[in-house]
Amino acid sequence: MIGKISVVTGAGSNVGRACALALAADGWSVVLVGRRKEALEETARLAGPSLADRLVPLAADITDPAAVRGLFAEVALRFGRLDLLFNNAADTMPYIPTEDVAAEDWGRVLGSIATGSFLCAQAAYRMMKEQSPRGGRIINNGAPSAHVPRPDSIAFTAAKHAVAGLTKSLSLDGRRYDIACGQIDIGNVTPGDREQPAARQADGSLRVEPTMDVRHVAEAVVTMAALPLGVNIPSITVMPSAMPYVGRG
């Protein structure tokens, strides 16, 4: 393995996959985390033979405390340290009026985004605090919804607001241990071979919004990751210029 050690959750598709591949290309060793081992292995294959030894697929359910403990114990056993965690994994749900949101869906979305990010950050924090050289960086995937909600998105919005609070607390508590924490809020990313779905607007209408290539997100994550630990980007938003955001209109 070459370079610093990173963990990327949700690495089997889209943003997580693009960021994992970009980190590997920038010299990082990357532990690919997700529920589906085959999707993680596909991410590793996409890196090509020259980067294959930098990508390690490890399937884990980040909402399960025991699974998270096992995941980071494996990272410690294999590499002896951790320099970067990108908390990216998330379950979502369709736009549903607040009064119709099922408790089970609320728990699933909050569990994957808020609790999953906390469990992974806590495990990473413990490693970074004790390792030598001490310290590391945690990057949390927020969203514009961490600041400005969409209609009919109460679970996702609440979860992403929780991520914003998690980021601030980690940034504060990590100072004494050389642990930096920042957040990247990501706008609409082009959905690959699918059509961009229409999104509910503040006036109740549906609109297909502008998108951007996921490589711009990956470039931003690599930039954040490359900073020395004495420098931090607490929050950054990467989004299509014409995407509704401020006031969602």
pLDDT tens by residue, the chain, 249 residues = 567 999 999 999 999 999 999 999 999 999 999 999 999 999 999 999 999 899 999 999 999 999 999 999 999 999 999 999 999 999 999 999 999 999 999 999 999 999 999 999 999 999 999 999 999 999 999 999 999 999 999 999 999 999 999 999 999 999 999 999 999 999 999 987 778 888 888 888 889 999 999 999 999 999 999 999 999 999 999 999 999 887 665
pLDDT at 27: 96
Residue 202's pLDDT is: 85
- SS (HEC) of 93-156: CCCCCHHHCCHHHHHHHHHHHHHHHHHHHHHHHHHHHHCCCCCEEEEEECCHHHCCCCCCCHHH
Answer whether 28's CB lies under 8 Å from 3's CB.
yes
Q: How far, CA to CA in Å, does 55 sit from each of 7, 39, 44, 61, 239?
A: 10, 13, 6, 19, 28
Q: Specify the DSSP class assigned to residue 54.
A: G
Specify the pLDDT at position 223: 98
Task: Write down the pTM of the prediction.
Answer: 0.96
Q: How far apart are CA 222 and CA 6, in angstroms?
A: 11
pLDDT at residue 199, rounded to an integer = 87
Identify the burial level of 190 via C-beta atoms within 10 angstroms of its C-beta, where 0-12 means exposed, 13-18 middle and 19 or more buried.
middle
Helix (H), strand (E) at residue 25? helix 14-25
Closest to 217 measured CA to CA, from 146, 113, 141: 141
pLDDT of 247 reads 64
Q: Do 189 and 14 meet the contact criterion of CB atoms below 8 Å apart?
A: yes
| Other residues' Cβ atoms within 10 Å of the Cβ of residue 134 | 14
Number of Cβ atoms within 10 Å of the Cβ of 60: 24
Q: What is the per-residue pLDDT for 241?
A: 93
| Bridge-based pairing state of the strands 235-238 and 206-207 | unpaired
pLDDT of residue 110: 97
pLDDT of residue 1: 57
The pLDDT of residue 82:
98
Q: Which amino acid is at 222?
A: V
Say how many residues make up the chain: 249
